[in-house]
Structure 1
Amino acid sequence: MNQDKPLFVQSDKTMLLDVHSPRAEEARVRLSQFAELVKSPEHMHTYQVSNISIWNAAAMGKSYEDIISTLEDLSRFEIPQSLLFFIKDNLDRFGAIKLTPYDNDYHLLTVKGSLFKAQIISSKTLMAILQPFSEDSFLVPWYKRGEIKIQLIKLGFPTDDLIPLKKGEKLEINERDVTLSKKSFSLRPYQREAVQAFLGSRENEKGYGNIILPCGSGKTVVGIHAMCELKTHTLILCPNVTSVHQWKREILDKTDITEDMIGEYSGELKEVKPITIATYQILIYRTTESDEYKHFSLMTDHPWGLVIYDEVHMLPATCFKVTAEIQSMYRLGLTATLVREDHREAEVFSLVGPKRYDTPWSVLERQGFIAKAYCHEIRIPLSEEAAVEYATAKGAAGRYRIAAENPLKEKVVEELLNKHEGDRILIIAQYLDQLEKIKKRFGFPMITGSTGNKKRDELYDAFRSGKENVLIVSKVANYAIDLPDASVAIQLSGSFGSRQEEAQRLGRILRPKEKDSHFYTIVTKFTSEEDFAQNRQKFLAEQGYSYEIESPDM
């Protein structure tokens, strides 16, 4: 046993990293190549080895010897044999199936190992796509490239896709040294590292995969830098129209591209330009369930050289179909977390690409690139009237909503508004009735799904400029909204225990600023809302945030 080694490797495929060790930073960098950081509280960070994390490592060229030498160098105790077998098995799976060019109509799928081949042959779904070619290979129609990768990943077989990416039509685009808003502009070190990891060396180009960075760390800038490096026509896909406008604003501010070269493709406009920014929703729009998707051709009919998926964890399941059809393009996914409630992370890996880069929230906070944030949970009782309603309600969803809309929460909101008077504050809730009551009581402007895009932009701009210090927002503000001066978020209700939502809402207040940020969640105690809150609390604590629980007398 070596006391100087910072890592404790366990048979359940988790690894505990002592963050107080002099070798902790070295270990973090090396572990991130083949394991996922799942918890980062004060003293011990937890990493998880999974099939996807090992396939990510294989996609980045890491060998079994690379991984084991890292573990042996860092681990204080002997590495469990079961973990060694798991790593070897999944590395062998990654290299077993390769996709290579054949001719204009077909790709060649080569299978190494009789067991893997037997499992493929026994799959009716796969054999409806594949055409036997030789003893160890099959032909794949070129337009089934993505679909075959999806079907194989469902069987536990990642595809090593070796077909070269197309360059796309050229576009001259360069970053500014001084932005249009007259601010000096340069990339942060981790932003440059992220794009380098995405593209690889010019001798061994990658150009497809996901970059995972905390909310507030400048993922849009990462996307812009990738565009400037590749210099090609680019399609950017976003969760909503507000984020479309935000991307356009950032591109114009930080590059030399002109406005006439940027198109918006949404429910309001249908412009296709060298840089086109579209919503996921418009891609999956159809009049009825039996109709064709009217706008899928946007992805395939233009010579895009790069497709950027903003908030890639939100990629609608329906969009997997069209994503499967654009495997020849450079593809960049941007997100703060790859957690999906439908557990389809493996399909994101297969279609968009492996994780190319990530860095912990706590590291960027320590370096001053995102704000220091304090998380507070305020637990209050149900009002007497609501308590009776809760006790007699039928169904878990009904009880949860009664607890979430507890009218006593309004008093806590009032106290927090007084406490943070003068700060930029977001009041966030899941339920529209609850939002309407808050608006009626306090008179602040409100943004919900029914707020027109023009009005939304006006209110966001008023908040950014300081004309409005408080905004009431529904879950439409969870994603891709840049409100750099927001320093306080008051969460009245959420989507049950969604970790993804918690990360995104906290992200609204993580832009770096002179003062610390505060994230408040108001929870009704002794109800199902308290149970769900514990899941959200656990997620924040695992990211390294302090979490204070208060229970005031009411």
Structure 2
Amino acid sequence: MTAEDDEHSTPPDESRPPDDGDGVLDRLSEAAETTGPDADSRVPPTEVADPDTETPQSDDEDADDGVSLELFYDALEAEGRPVVTAQQVARRLGVTQAEAVEDLDELADAGRLQKVDVQTDPVVWYPTEWGQLASRERVVLFPKRREIVVDNPTQYTRARLSQFAHLVDTTGDREGRGRGYLYRIRQEDVWQAPFDDVSDLLAMLRSVLPERSPHLEEWVEDQWKRAHRFRLYTHEEGYTVLESATESLMGNVAMQKLDENHVYAPISDTETWVRDESVAAVKRILYDAGYPVEDDRDLEEGEHLDVSLGVELRDYQQDWVDRFLEQRAGVLVGPPGSGKTIAGIGALAAVGGETLVLVPSRELARQWRAELLANTDLSPDQIGEYHGGVKEIRPVTIATYQTAGMDRHRSLFDSRRWGLIIYDEAHHIPSRVFQRSADLQSKHRLGLSATPIREDDKEAEIFTLVGPPIGTDWGKLFEAGHVQEPEVEIRYVGWADDMARNEWASSDGRERHMLAAMNPAKVFEARRLRARHPDAKTLIFVDYLDQGEQIAEALDVPFVSGETRHHHREAYFRSFRDGNLDTLVISRIGDEGIDLPNAELAIVASGLGGSRRQGSQRAGRTMRPAGSALVYVLATRGTSEEDFAQRQMQHLAGKGIRVRETSHDDYPRDDTSATEQTE
């Protein structure tokens, strides 16, 4: 963010002892005392090294050995007390009491510590600046619950946690002080972790935790084994076989869950003959039983299609394609702007078979056609579209999910020997109307999705019906500069006037949410942010037409909605892309399925009742290889929008992206322009 942001950030209250905070760490630590966590949870907090420096950060850089201020903080946290004696410090740090006293005296002389004589002990010590202790990163593990709590995590720590843990909740005040993150390691997190071997996963786990936890590591290894206990393979005579690692697993798990609708007959104590039409059901049933199935079948390659790429894949895109060819099924899960469509086209060329591309809308179908023509040597008559507007079946056919799922269009699947099915925006797969397309289990299957999350918690179906995730490490792409990590700020805004606030207070239900979303102060805030970043290409997202028109009028820019004629919409996007237009206000039609040029600045004025996926998609409009990427999410303070904003940004936070929060309430009571009121 710019330097002006700091004017509205309240400095930490350095006089407040850390135990007075309301972070997740403090609450769960109290819970741990009542539930009695095992010995592995009693770990001394640690400071994770800053990845941009060669050594861990320290508040006492001059101390080469002995008791530094940093080590004193560690001793305080390990003791769980606000003050300690020299004897306690010595015990915690493994030094003699005389050495501890000498070093603590030096820190006290330098003003870094305070000491006081008390009756029960000659001297006790405590920090001069409590705020430094309260703002340090602290990592605490609760192995039995498989939960990790981090107060004030560094970006480095959050990026690593995103590789094997699920972000459950965050707490803290609006300026981000005392920020606590609660992570949980679930079965599916281990099953889908982007590692080739369990040792790599354990190494990542150990790099974050303060010390080894045999209890947790044993559970992780067990879950990893579970993900490799069943597999499907093609028998030499051409039929599909389900194989288990042991006779017990086949008899006590598979045969207890599956019936004659799924399998024909046993072949051996560890193998059974599977009905081809029931492969998807078998994988889903065993997944629900806690055993993901490895799919090693010989998948169809379809009729040969000679395709050459006209673009060179980036290293990570080529890695995605290589991993897909090895697995023959999977979902590319990369951040917006990382080039998943180009990687999908690379997979199409590598498979070399006739391909069916499934998309959620006609507009995406047209975009896929344009991308194929621009980046391959396919001719126009080799690419067909199949949806309500046109029905062409060609060597590469692009169809909508809805059309493909209808019984009367079943010939779409049966008329060609598809070698590859590409599911764009793969999070649509679990919806009932889209299930039909998942029956194509005999094909190479590639899903594309930046946000494979669903509010109905059915994202597991994406990975069982299509394939395991590929390319989930967003942090590596950010670090390598392939995709610009956005700076995200939730701005809690007050009411512009008493009339608007009173109208909201006297309403309820849907109207109450709408009034909070359309808080007139957001119009002023949009003008202020636009004035702060005058040279940035800006997209302003709204969910309500009236609000969109108000903001567009205030900024004197176009508003694009579902009511905008298609040719006008395309003209605005083209002008925005070419640089002739620097700001667009856009409704939720811009969330997905539209070839909207990437922006440098995104302002989310409303839409906070939407999904986590919507929040990520809107933020994703700023992600690209170079330049700044700023996202401001406006939420009316004291309303349900606060919770909605945090929920929408949770997916980004889980990927290691820092989400900060600020509060603003300085709105004029007249129509003073934003340029006169800029911060």
TM-score, normalised to structure 2, is: 0.67
Local SS of the residue matching 1:402: helix
Number of the residue aligned with 1:229: 350
Match of 1:52 among 188, 198, 211: 188
Greater mean deviation of Cα atoms: 156-165 or 66-75: 66-75
Structure-1 separation of matches of 2:348 and 2:308: 9
Greater mean deviation of Cα atoms: 253-262 or 109-118: 109-118
Match of 2:436 among 322, 328, 343: 322
Match of 1:250 among 362, 367, 371: 371
Match of 1:198 among 324, 335, 353: 324
Number of the residue aligned with 1:386: 500
Structure-1 separation of matches of 2:383 and 2:508: 51
Number of the residue aligned with 1:283: 404
Computed over aligned residues only, the root mean square deviation of the Cα atoms, in angstroms, reads: 3.8
Following TM superposition, by how much is the alpha carbon of 1:221 offset from its aligned partner in structure 2, in angstroms? 1.6
Structure-2 separation of matches of 1:245 and 1:106: 38
Number of the residue aligned with 2:455: 341
Number of the residue aligned with 1:263: 384
Distance 1:424 1:46, change over 3 A: same
Local SS of the residue matching 2:384: strand
**Percent identity over paired residues:** 32
Structure 1 position 129 matched with structure 2 position 262: yes
Following TM superposition, by how much is the alpha carbon of 1:517 offset from its aligned partner in structure 2, in angstroms? 2.5
Structure-2 separation of matches of 1:489 and 1:399: 25
Consecutive unaligned residues of structure 2, counting only runs of 5 or more, are: 1-42, 50-138, 171-175, 668-679
Distance 1:338 1:13, change over 3 A: farther
Greater mean deviation of Cα atoms: 159-168 or 131-140: 131-140
Task: Report if aligned partners of 1:10, 1:79 keep a CA contact under 8 Å in 2.
Answer: no
Distance 1:550 1:541, change over 3 A: farther
Task: Report if aligned partners of 1:71, 1:79 keep a CA contact under 8 Å in 2.
Answer: no
Number of the residue aligned with 1:35: 164
Report which of the two structures shows the higher radius of gyration computed on alpha carbons. 2
Task: Report if aligned partners of 1:265, 1:277 keep a CA contact under 8 Å in 2.
Answer: yes
Structure 1 position 272 matched with structure 2 position 393: yes
Alignment of 1:48-87 (within 5 A): 49-56=185-192, 62=197, 77-87=211-221
Structure-1 separation of matches of 2:549 and 2:419: 45
Distance 1:71 1:437, change over 3 A: closer
Distance 1:82 1:326, change over 3 A: same
Distance 1:166 1:69, change over 3 A: same
TM-score, normalised to structure 1, is: 0.81
Greater mean deviation of Cα atoms: 1-10 or 99-108: 1-10
Structure-1 separation of matches of 2:476 and 2:490: 24
Structure 1 position 100 matched with structure 2 position 233: yes
Match of 1:528 among 640, 646, 665: 640
Structure-2 separation of matches of 1:16 and 1:224: 41
Following TM superposition, by how much is the alpha carbon of 1:495 offset from its aligned partner in structure 2, in angstroms? 4.3
Following TM superposition, by how much is the alpha carbon of 1:491 offset from its aligned partner in structure 2, in angstroms? 0.9
Give the aligned length: 521
Give 2:615's aligned amino acid.
E
Alignment of 1:97-176 (within 5 A): 97-101=230-234, 107-111=240-244, 112-114=246-248, 117-123=251-257, 126-133=259-266, 137-176=271-310
Task: Report if aligned partners of 2:250, 2:270 keep a CA contact under 8 Å in 1.
Answer: no
Give 1:114's aligned amino acid.
S
Distance 1:454 1:133, change over 3 A: farther
Local SS of the residue matching 1:294: helix
Structure-2 separation of matches of 1:118 and 1:241: 47
Give 2:263's aligned amino acid.
L
Following TM superposition, by how much is the alpha carbon of 1:70 offset from its aligned partner in structure 2, in angstroms? 7.0
Structure-2 separation of matches of 1:248 and 1:44: 46
Following TM superposition, by how much is the alpha carbon of 1:248 offset from its aligned partner in structure 2, in angstroms? 2.3
Distance 1:156 1:357, change over 3 A: same
Give 2:365's aligned amino acid.
V
Following TM superposition, by how much is the alpha carbon of 1:419 offset from its aligned partner in structure 2, in angstroms? 3.4
Number of the residue aligned with 2:338: 217
Distance 1:420 1:142, change over 3 A: same
For residues 3-61 of structure 1, the C-alpha deviation after alignment (integer angstroms, 9 at most, x for no partner) is 9998987614457999799xx99x96xx98x82575999x999986432233336x986
Structure-2 separation of matches of 1:503 and 1:95: 32
Structure-1 separation of matches of 2:544 and 2:309: 42
Following TM superposition, by how much is the alpha carbon of 1:344 offset from its aligned partner in structure 2, in angstroms? 1.4
Give 2:631's aligned amino acid.
F
Following TM superposition, by how much is the alpha carbon of 1:483 offset from its aligned partner in structure 2, in angstroms? 4.0
Match of 1:478 among 587, 591, 594: 591
Number of the residue aligned with 2:421: 307
Task: Report if aligned partners of 1:310, 1:335 keep a CA contact under 8 Å in 2.
Answer: yes
Match of 1:371 among 462, 480, 484: 484
For residues 202-252 of structure 1, the C-alpha deviation after alignment (integer angstroms, 9 at most, x for no partner) is xxxx21011211111111121121122222222222233333232222222
Could you say which structure has the greater relative contact order, defined with CA pairs below 8 angstroms and 6 or more residues apart? 1
Structure-2 separation of matches of 1:103 and 1:321: 30
Moved over 6 A (4+): 1-9, 15-21, 43-47, 72-75
Local SS of the residue matching 2:490: strand
Give 1:226's aligned amino acid.
A
Consecutive unaligned residues of structure 1, counting only runs of 5 or more, are: 177-184, 201-205, 285-291
Structure-2 separation of matches of 1:472 and 1:332: 34
Local SS of the residue matching 1:221: helix
Number of the residue aligned with 2:97: none
Number of the residue aligned with 2:361: 240
Distance 1:255 1:366, change over 3 A: same
